[in-house]
Amino acid sequence: MDFSKIKLIVSDMDGTLLDSNHTVSDYFFELFRKLQKKNIHFAAASGRQYQSIVEKLNTIQNDITIISENGGFGKYGKENLFVFDLPKNQINIPIQLLRELENPYIVLCGKKAAYVESNDENFITTFSQFYSCFQVVEDLTKITDDTIFKIAVYHKECSETYILPLLKNLPKDFQILISGKNWLDISHHNANKGKALTILQKKLGVSKEETMVFGDYNNDLKMLTEAKFSYAMANAHPNVKKVAHFETKSNDENGVEIVLEQVLNSRK
């Protein structure tokens, strides 16, 4: 395969670049520096908060683009690339609907921090893997001094089965996205990884034919359609495998790194 024209590589984090222990391999960082020398730009695109992605990619944070909150907030190095936040006067609408759930696990995802009402230790342990900067508060509807990118909701069994039906009458201004088996996100209608990628491509002057993307879940679908070299992980959702042009090994088998090696080998 001819990878000689690639100028931009974008990877999802959980289930893709991160292994099952939520770790980035040392080998990835080695490959990244080699890609950088070839003038190939790298972007991390995730449903995680910005601070959590930085925690995983700390040593290269100023050399990459970080697309966080499923396309709600993007930074190109130290420069803000875009912000798609929820209108403050509408945030409480989905919160009130979600409180109809038994023991709702709701996360208000802000620029300064993430906010939760729950004191459930098991949930806090799960949630803190994705949100390194957070506060436990008494009432989410009283948070008014932060920019809110999305509302994330967790269900122990299945977000699509148990949370989605509650939101069927939510105003169309909101975007609803199943971002994992247990997670559902409510965000600005423009906040998605596909829109984020097109903004980045325009800034860099890069085409679809010069773009490579890796993903594993439904929140990666729009992003995958914006790249000629779109890869589903072996562990990906069936929908992702249908949309992606290619497949690589799983996140626990260095699937991303294997393809990055091939890109570098094509540039010798």
Per-residue pLDDT of the chain (268 residues; tens, 9 = 90+): 889 999 999 999 999 999 999 999 999 999 999 999 999 999 999 999 999 999 999 999 999 999 999 999 999 998 999 999 999 888 999 999 898 887 789 999 999 999 999 888 899 998 888 888 999 999 999 999 999 999 999 998 888 888 988 888 888 889 998 887 888 999 998 999 999 999 999 999 999 999 999 999 999 999 999 999 999 999 999 999 999 999 999 999 999 999 999 999 998 7
Q: How high is the pLDDT of residue 253?
A: 98
Which amino acid, one-letter code, is at 122?
A: N
Q: What per-residue confidence (pLDDT) applies to 236?
A: 96
Q: Which two tokens stand for residue 222?
A: 């729009």
| pTM, rounded to two decimals | 0.90
Burial 109-140 (b: 16+ CB within 10 A, else e): bbbebbbbbbeeeebeeebeebbbebeeeeeb
CA pair distance 35, 60, nearest whole angstrom: 12
Long-range Cβ contacts of 162-165 (<8 Å, 24+ apart)? 162/101, 163/98, 163/101
pLDDT at 178: 83
Interatomic CA distance for residues 183 and 153, integer angstroms: 6
Q: Where are the domains of the chain?
A: 8-83+192-265, 92-188
CATH superfamily of 8-83+192-265: HAD superfamily/HAD-like (3.40.50.1000)
Q: Cα(184)–Cα(51) distance, rounded to whole angstroms?
A: 20
23-30: long-range pairs with CB below 8 Å, 24+: 24/56, 24/57, 25/254, 25/257, 27/254, 27/257, 28/256, 28/257, 28/260, 29/59, 29/60
SS3 for 194? Answer: helix
Q: CATH: 3.40.50.2300, 3.20.20.70, 1.10.3720.10, 3.30.1240.10. Which one for 92-188?
A: 3.30.1240.10
